[in-house]
Amino acid sequence: MSYEVKLDAFSGPLDLLLHLIHRLEIDIYDIPMAELTGQYIDHIHAMKVLELNEASEYLVMAATLLAIKSRMLLPIHEGELEDSEFEVEALDPREELVNKLIEYKKYKEAAVELKLLESDRALVYTRPPSDLSSMEPDEQLALFDASVNVYDMISALQKILRRKNLRKPLSTRVARQEISMKDQMFAVVNSLRSFGGRSAFSELFPYEDKTTIIVTFLSILELMKRQVISVEQQNNFEELFVILDKEVPEDELRTVDE
């Protein structure tokens, strides 16, 4: 089975770092490298499990974080500080990263402002509407509302995988099992119905094998894409909840390409 996922919310490693800094309430000018690097690597591991194509540039940033973390652990000798070429880097190896993050944050905020201007301008009509059906763009994977983003979803998946790994038996016999995403989408909807239309994210993963967990996660993304379900989070770090937004015929759920 092959199912390729492209998430527009992944805007690169700097975007992930800004999300973690905001999530952990870190001062961007005084970054605790150990904590930030640990959280970043956790997300890299989750991305590796999902086999996302964008992972290579994130690995480069992971190496950069580890290098900065290592330099901060090294002692600084007085003789090194007298060397003008080495002085700035020795004083704070985080400086270059901080400058990149600040610059990226400026452009990201500017992009939000431009998007708002675009939305306002879209309300102004200077000519009668035209038939643009032939120019309709490809369907985008718009998955998340304002309270939940892709990083929150990956964090929740990482917790589930870690919990399942801790409960894994010392010895087991592995049997290959083909899992249909079509059937798994239907199983997710059925589970939500049994929970009254609203369920904790973790309750939808009563499985022990990694393959079924991953297919279930991808099924949730597909259902969100089709606006059959939505995900919400009341407060930062709290449990994600999945909500069944509409009832759909079983045949409609089985039209996904695998």
Confidence of residue 93 (pLDDT cuts 50, 70, 90): confident
Bridge partners of residue 231, in order along the sequence? 242
pLDDT in tens, 1-21: 343 444 444 467 888 888 888
Q: Whole-structure pTM over 0.85, yes or no?
A: no
Q: Is 201 within 8 Å of 156 (Cβ atoms)?
A: yes
Average pLDDT (79-84) is 52
Ramachandran region, residue 250 (left: φ > 0; alpha: ψ -120 to 50; beta: rest):
alpha
Residue 83: alpha-carbon gap to chain centroid:
42
Q: Across the chain, what does the average pLDDT equal? A: 77
Average pLDDT (149-159) is 83
What is the CATH superfamily name and number for domain 143-258?
Structural maintenance of chromosome 1. Chain E (1.10.10.580)
Which helix or strand (DSSP H or E) is residue 76 part of?
none
Judge whether residue 150 has pLDDT over 80.
Answer: no
Average pLDDT (34-58) is 77
3-state SS, one letter per residue, for 223-257: HHHCCCEEEECCCCCCCCEEEECCCCCHHHHCCCC
- To which residue do tokens 């990482």 refer? 158
**Domain span(s) for CATH 1.10.10.580 in the chain:** 143-258
Give the Å distances, CA to CA, from 250 to 94, 178, 190, 242: 53, 20, 10, 19
* Upper half-sphere CA count for residue 6 (Cβ side, 13 Å): 4
